[in-house]
């Protein structure tokens, strides 16, 4: 267990929104984890092409995560390893990047990239479920997750965030990049949710109440960037453990 003290929060950069008294619910995810795994196995060879528009938001997330030399970082749902390579560069030879993903196809694709980049000695990737992380408590300085939390059904989101909190040092931070559900959904969000309900395997994620979920899991957002992708709100949130 880490004896590190939690870094003080800087209230000047907290951009909180009003948290409703009754927590609203995101649309449910009805496809199974086995279906998610099969889907991402299929997509793994050309995922970078179909998801190219997400890259700027991942880069922004990595920017506010601000990894330093020697840090240990975990990425949940690393996909083809788009963030893994940048993180391996940031932490240098004295740091460690760990990553878990449920898809064997994604694991193979990401491992190939890591080998080609010559950073295998700093990177440990494995095939696991984010709801049961194979790491000890307080193992990481930072956790990163992009376009992955919104793949989990409502009861599973707190489970995944609790796992993030468990493996994070008290002084650590988490950055989550996700489609986010605004208080009043516009046409793009409503259309997307409709498509998700009609085609739960193909359109397998949906916007979530990201800030609420982070607060509920014991994190304090300290930097929130709001963007839009194809008319859908994207939030890039850096948060620190409280208590």
Ligand X SMILES: C[S@@+](CC[C@H](N)C(=O)[O-])C[C@H]1O[C@@H](n2cnc3c(N)ncnc32)[C@H](O)[C@@H]1O
Residue numbers at the binding site for ligand X (CB under 6 A): 33, 36, 40, 51, 54, 58, 77-79, 82, 100-103, 106, 129-130, 146-148, 151
From CA 91, how far away is CA 15, in angstroms rounded?
28
| Local structure of 63: helix, strand or coil | helix
Smallest distance, Å, CB 70 to ligand X? 24
| CB burial string 41-77: b at 16+ within 10 A, e below | bebbeebbeebeebeebbebbbebbebeeebbbbbbb
* Of residues 33 and 111, the one with the C-beta less far from ligand X: 33
For residue 128, the minimal CB distance to ligand X (Å) is: 6
> Is the Cβ of residue 13 or residue 52 nearer to ligand X in the bound state?
52
Phi/psi class of residue 118: alpha, beta or left (left: φ > 0; alpha: ψ in -120 to 50)?
left
CB of 11 to ligand X, least distance (A): 30
Residue with tokens 């408590």: 137
Q: Give the nearest distance from C-beta 61 to ligand X in angstroms.
A: 9
Distance separating the N- and C-terminal Cα atoms of the chain: 16
Please state the closest distance from residue 1 (CB atom) to ligand X, in A.
Answer: 25
86: which 2 tokens?
A: 């940048």
> Given its phi and psi angles, is residue 92 left (phi above 0), alpha (psi -120 to 50 degrees) or beta?
left
Nearer to ligand X, 12 or 53 (CB): 53
- Minimum CB–partner distance for residue 66 and ligand X (Å): 18
Of residues 164 and 224, the one with the C-beta less far from ligand X: 164
Q: Which is nearer to ligand X, 202 or 242 (CB)?
A: 202
d(C-alpha 236, C-alpha 239), whole Å? 10
State which residue has the least CB distance to ligand X.
Answer: 79
CB of 140 or CB of 147, closer to ligand X:
147
């Amino acid at each position: 267990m880490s004896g590190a003290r939690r870094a003080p929060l800087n209230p000047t950069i907290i951009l909180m929104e009003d948290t409703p008294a009754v927590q609203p619910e995101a649309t449910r995810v009805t496809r199974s984890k086995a279906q998610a795994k099969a889907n991402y196995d299929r997509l793994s060879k050309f995922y970078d092409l179909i998801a190219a528009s997400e890259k700027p938001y991942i880069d922004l997330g990595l920017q506010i995560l601000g990894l330093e030399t020697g840090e240990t970082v975990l990425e949940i749902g690393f996909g083809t390893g788009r963030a893994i390579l940048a993180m391996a560069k940031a932490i240098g030879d004295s740091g460690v990047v760990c990553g878990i993903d449920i898809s064997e196809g994604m694991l193979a694709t990401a491992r190939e990239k890591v080998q080609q980049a010559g950073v295998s000695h700093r990177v440990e990737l494995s095939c696991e479920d984010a709801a049961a992380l194979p790491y000890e408590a307080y193992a990481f300085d930072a956790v990163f997750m992009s376009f992955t939390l919104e793949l989990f059904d409502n009861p599973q989101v707190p489970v995944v965030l609790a796992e993030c909190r468990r493996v994070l040092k008290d002084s650590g931070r988490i950055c989550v990049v996700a489609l986010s559900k605004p208080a009043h959904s516009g046409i793009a969000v409503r259309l997307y949710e409709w498509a998700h309900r009609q085609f739960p395997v193909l359109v397998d994620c949906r916007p979530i109440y990201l800030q609420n979920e982070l607060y509920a899991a014991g994190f304090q957002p300290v930097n929130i960037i709001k963007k839009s992708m194809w008319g859908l709100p994207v939030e890039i949130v850096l948060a620190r453990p409280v208590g």
